[in-house]
Structures are given as C-alpha cells and as structure tokens.
Chains A and B, each alone.
Chain A
Amino acid sequence: MAFVDYYEILGINKNATEDDIKKAYRKLARKLHPDLNPNDKDANKKFQQLNEANDVLSDPEKRKKYDTYGENWQHGEEYEKARQAQGRQGFGGGQSFAGDFDGTDFSDLFGSMFGGAAGGRNAQVKFKGQDYNSELHLSLQNAYTTHSQTLSVNGRNVRITIPAGVENGQIIKLKGYGGKGMNGGPDGDLYITFNIANDARFKRSGNDLYATETINLYTAVLGGEIMIDTMNGKIKLKVKPGTQNGSKTRIKGKGFPVYKKEGEYGDLFITYQVQTPTDLTEKQKELFTQLAELSK
C-alpha cells in the first residue's frame, strides 16, 4: 500500500492546531464534495481520502498514534509489543512491521468511513456514501427500444429499465445504489454512462438517422420503388424520376425514438448513391450511344 500522508492530504504541517485542521478540512471539503463534483471519480476519491485524513487528525488519540507510527499507526500497539519482545530476545532494530493491508490506496479506515460507524468526535457527522460509476455498452438497436438489463455493481445485481432513445454518453443516476452512507448519512448513488456503439447501416444525430442507399442508374433516371432498411424493418420507398447522385430524401418518423417521449420519433434521411453500370453488353452500349445522340 502506498503511504497516505494525512497532513499532505489536508495541506497542513505537523504542528497544525485543531483549528488549522478544521479549517483545512472545511476548505477542501467545499472543493471536493461529491455534490459539487458529480460524476468526477477523481474528486470523489480525493474526498474519501480527505474524510479519512480528517477523521484521524481531528481525533487527538488517533493523531498521536499516527504521528508516532506513521502508516502503521493502526497497528502501533502490536508493533510496540513486537519491538519490545524482539528487544528482550536480543534482536536489534531495523525490522519493519508488515501490516495486514489489502493493497489498495486507502487504509483499512476507509471501510469504517464508508461502511460501518466511524468512532471518535466525528461520529455525529453524517456523510453521504461513495458514488459509484459504471458504463453500459449498448448497440444502436438496443438503444432503439425500451428494455431491461441487469447490471452487477460491487457484487449487487441492479435491474434497470433503459428507456428507448438514450443518447451516447448520457448518464443516468440510480439513487441509493452507491456505497453505504457514513454515520447514518444517505447511501451514495450509482451513475451509469451509456456507451452506444456505431452502427454499420445507420448514423445517428440526435433523434435523426442517416443512411446511404444505392440505386441503379435506370431507377435514378426513370424513378421507381426500392425496399430500404429502417430500424424496425424494411419499408417501400418511391424514388422520383431524375434523382441525382448524392441527393437526399427525408422519411418522417422513421428515425430514433425521442427519449422519454413515447410515440415520438426523429426522421430518417436517405442519401442516394447512383450506381453507374459497368461491363455493358454491345446492345447496351448501342442504346446508350443512341441516347447520347438524342441528347445532343
């Protein structure tokens, strides 16, 4: 575990008074509080470290232990006993105490800050639990329909309903699904960020969808009917005579569902790509030549 210097976290020196600690804590808490930094994982992590530092340094007993034993302060007494025992057995100093840490950046105290009840003078201070962040990957087709999914967050299964029309990068908050509150404070929230993969057929811009449709030269010149894909099946589309390559047509209501507005949809824009025939037969060449002559 990396040593967490509580004085450094609070930005104070070792001679700081109780008042200095209180002021430093208040100042940083106003900067890092989760309510002021929604969705900021870094700020949330720093806020937890800040609470931990404050919990130790604002309690004279804990602070004394921390000042004496440093990172192993919670095991200070065991360390002292071990040191004395070693002294009796004739061993010299220089052996460091190996505490039973879990390898995370937070010390064991973190568990008590955001799980059980923290003791000492801060016991009456209620804090909201840690906010959790999670990402949910969806295909464009999945985002098109309202559906339910079960997520596993910190060993807890959370069933959520994803409304149709959710946007890429959109974040939804599930209240109370975060970490446990401290000293009776409310539980944290769970923030889910939707990550919607690009689709091979459709591009999405807001509630509108864009697609390219290839039509042959004859349909482009003479007009006709083609079958095109939409998000919910194929539809018949009339192509006007004289359709130009790159021209667009709008199909109302065949775009993406509008988020949380049942029955409202964006539009589908089709760009025509006219395919010029190649490998013409002699007969076709002759007819095109005749056509060219007629157009002169």
Chain B
Amino acid sequence: METQEYIPIDVFCRQHGITVSLIGSLQNFGLIEVMHIGQVDCIPVDQLGEAEKIVRLHTELDINLEGVDVITHLLEKIKEMQAEILLLKNRLAFYE
C-alpha cells in the first residue's frame, strides 16, 4: 500500500518565515492544497516543492497572489512545451 507523507503547516511556516494566514490565502486562491490530518493542517510532501516555489515567488519577488497564479500556470505551460520540444527533437533525430 502506498503511504503519503505530510508536513504540518506550522512547521512549514516556521521554516519559511511566513504566517499561517498566508497559507490560508494560498489555499483560497487554489495555489496549494491543505489536508486535515486529525486536528492538524498539513501539506502533502509531494506538493512541497511547488508550495515552496509559490511562497518564494510571493515573498522574494513581492508578487501578489493573482500574479503568482498566472506565473504558475505559465510555468506549467512552458514545462509542457519543453517536454513536447524534447519529444519532437528525439523523433527528428530518429530520421537523421
């Protein structure tokens, strides 16, 4: 059976020097997913990288949450396009 690991929100906030209310705002914007495990709010470990990136964009670059939302969508699109370019490059190499 697969096990899922979680990081408590307060630990995450302490580590990144942010307030718990920011996590609430990020959740309201649909930017991160918060799970309730028992009485504790947690972030799944597999979403940790994405959550950290979102927090960095907001805190280091002063980008508001609407902006972060747009950026994350665009970055996802770029990632998909890069994967497609790679696939096409490899397919092209097949005929060279």
Residues of chain A at the chain B interface (Cβ within 8 Å): 26, 29-30, 33, 35-36, 38, 125-128, 167-170, 173, 175, 184, 186, 198, 203-206, 210
Contact = CB atoms under 8 A, between A and B. Distances in A.
Contact of A29 (B53, B60, B90, B93): B60
A170 B56 CA distance: 25
4 interchain residue pairs of minimum CB distance? A169-B86, A205-B94, A35-B53, A30-B61
B53 A169 contact: no
Nearest to A30: B61
A203 B59 CA distance: 47
A26 B94 contact: no
B62 A26 contact: yes
Nearest to B89: A169
Given A126-B17, A127-B60, A167-B86, 4 more contacts: A128-B56, A168-B86, A205-B90, A206-B87
A169 B61 contact: no
Contacts of A173: 49
A208 B56 CA distance: 40
Among A26, A35, A128, A210, the one with the most B-chain Cβ atoms within 10 Å of its Cβ is A35
Interface in B13-72: 16-17, 49, 52-53, 56-57, 59-63, 71
Contacts of B87: 167, 206
B24 to A, nearest CB: 21
A26 B61 contact: yes
28 contacts: A26-B61, A26-B62, A29-B60, A29-B61, A30-B61, A33-B57, A35-B53, A35-B56, A35-B57, A36-B71, A36-B75, A38-B75, A125-B60, A126-B60, A127-B60, A128-B60, A167-B86, A167-B87, A168-B93, A169-B86, A170-B86, A175-B49, A184-B17, A198-B93, A205-B90, A205-B91, A205-B94, A206-B91
A30 B90 contact: no
Interface residues of B, number: 21
B94 to A, nearest CB: 5
Main SS at interface, chain A: loop
B91 A33 contact: no
B17 A33 contact: no
Contacts of B53: 35
A126 B59 CA distance: 9
B61 A204 contact: no
A236 B75 CA distance: 48
A126 B14 CA distance: 13
Nearest to A186: B52
A113 B75 CA distance: 27
A118 to B, nearest CB: 14
Given A126-B17, A169-B89, A33 B94 contact: no
A258 B52 CA distance: 30
Contacts of B89: 169
B78 to A, nearest CB: 9
Contacts of A198: 93
A167 to B, nearest CB: 7
Nearest to A196: B90
Given A26-B61, A33-B60, A167 B90 contact: yes
Contacts of A38: 75
Nearest to A126: B17
Contacts of B56: 33, 35, 128
